[in-house]
Structure 1
């Protein structure tokens, strides 16, 4: 089969077939009397082998090495191709995010485009100081800020980014809330800290959803943030924090604020009282938490605790009851 017919049937141009020949990748088996290339069936199969490997992203040099080595095993090369493809996709994703950020800033001229590009470079800088400065600069698109918030590891820069995102108001919520679904607990934690600083009912609802997070630390952060907004769903986690002794002082303060609603206050007292069958350390923390609640709600439980079999618990409960009585809380 002559080169023109091979090109027509294979879809590989005559020019490329000549290039394959010059590289030694696919050399036609024979020549006609007139000197034209003549391809046998095995040659055509080899052309399709080359094209198949090219479709995987292999270079012609790699293809030549693979086809020339009878002992060649593809696993190592395929693994390298996978890594290269992943790197390329990551670069493409970053480029797409940059383009979206520029588009969202609605630049009116090239000066505006270049300014956003400069800010993007600042947020990607290896210098924490430069990243922080970029976050504190002119308002940035919320999608860009959300991406930076979810990936930033430096606490000072992260704080600046959260502040910048909060300036955008509720508009920043959808982009950052996506981080709550990340398989990475650290990303979920960053998303939660950012959402805690955003206004609105949708942000409050996102905090409530984080109360179900599998990571205890994230649930505790969510409970403190949601409880400060008056969310009753945070109460069980806050009570558990008191019992466990994890951020128990903060949890008790938030419970005290929530207990300003008498009906909810009675529920909180009952939940705390249910922990009194635990060990001495837990009962001490319960007594201290009850001190944060309005006296009319907590005094009966504290008086019972004043008769606790453990002297330390009894003394603390008595002291708290007396202090609440003097203050008239």
Structure 2
């Protein structure tokens, strides 16, 4: 005979798994909250699977929070496996969750392929995860890899790349100087905007881009005075 407590736990488990797949996003949100509030190892696979297909941003955020409530020894290996998924959202959300868990052992899973992923959201998540997980001695190499993508994408993508580089600190100075000497004016402008943010993290990105573009247009010897 199955113990009563075990039967009740199985019923709760079944109910929560069903709620994670409910049509109503509020129900899914509540289920993710419950899974994180009372974390049981049996929930991990379902939470990770849901991350890869969940359409609602707030529910995805709660799923990530729930996964951070479990021991990293249970979650990190499973999340690393998701980085090989053919589905972009699964890769992106796994990267995001790894950055929130902050277990440095996950650094080796942040591959060059992920940093250069063709999907912008995956690449952005990889940049954010990389700057959280990178060992001190590998920051130079990461900065160089990130700098290869100056001028990529729209404003939001470029802002994400700049923020990632700024988060690495002064180690990025050499790659910024190299990029600011590029033959590509878009690369020079993006690198210049990043340098301005490095000097003044509170500066607005759009203003930094505009200022950098003026420098590109006028030439480095005619940099306009700061307002």
Q: What's the TM-score, normalizing by structure 2?
A: 0.72
**CA distance 1:267–1:211, shift in 2 (3 Å):** farther
CA apart distance, 1:208: 3.8
Q: What does 1:228-239 align with in structure 2 at a 5 Å threshold?
A: 228-230=132-134, 232=139, 233-239=141-147
In structure 2, C-alpha distance between the alignment counterparts of 1:249 and 1:190, rounded to whole Å = 19
Q: Tell whether the 8 Å contact from 1:219 to 1:237 is kept in structure 2 after alignment.
A: no
In structure 2, C-alpha distance between the alignment counterparts of 1:291 and 1:230, rounded to whole Å = 23
SS in 1 for 2:100: coil
Are 2:160 and 1:255 aligned? no
2:91 is matched with which residue?
188
Structure 1 vs Structure 2 CA RMSD: 3.2
CA apart distance, 1:159: 1.1
CA apart distance, 1:161: 0.5
Are 2:10 and 1:139 aligned? no
**CA distance 1:270–1:160, shift in 2 (3 Å):** same
CA apart distance, 1:163: 0.7
Q: Tell whether the 8 Å contact from 2:179 to 2:187 is kept in structure 1 after alignment.
A: no
**CA distance 1:109–1:152, shift in 2 (3 Å):** same
SS in 2 for 1:310: helix
Render the CA deviation track for 1:67-117: whole Å, top value 9, x for unaligned.
xxxxxxxxxxxxxxxxxxxxxxxxxxxxxxxxxxxxxxxx94211111111
In structure 2, C-alpha distance between the alignment counterparts of 1:277 and 1:312, rounded to whole Å = 13
1:175 is matched with which residue?
78
Q: What's the TM-score, normalizing by structure 1?
A: 0.52
SS in 2 for 1:181: coil
In structure 1, C-alpha distance between the alignment counterparts of 2:18 and 2:164, rounded to whole Å = 41
Q: Tell whether the 8 Å contact from 1:195 to 1:207 is kept in structure 2 after alignment.
A: no
In structure 1, C-alpha distance between the alignment counterparts of 2:68 and 2:80, rounded to whole Å = 13
**CA distance 1:214–1:289, shift in 2 (3 Å):** closer
**CA distance 1:221–1:312, shift in 2 (3 Å):** farther
In structure 2, C-alpha distance between the alignment counterparts of 1:147 and 1:235, rounded to whole Å = 32
Q: Tell whether the 8 Å contact from 2:176 to 2:195 is kept in structure 1 after alignment.
A: yes
Stretches of structure 2 that go unaligned for 5 or more consecutive residues are 201-211
Are 2:108 and 1:198 aligned? no
SS in 2 for 1:293: helix
Render the CA deviation track for 1:35-80: whole Å, top value 9, x for unaligned.
xxxxxxxxxxxxxxxxxxxxxxxxxxxxxxxxxxxxxxxxxxxxxx
CA apart distance, 1:314: 5.9
CA apart distance, 1:131: 1.0
Aligned residues: 200
Larger Rg: 1
In structure 2, C-alpha distance between the alignment counterparts of 1:268 and 1:159, rounded to whole Å = 33
2:6 is matched with which residue?
109
SS in 2 for 1:277: coil
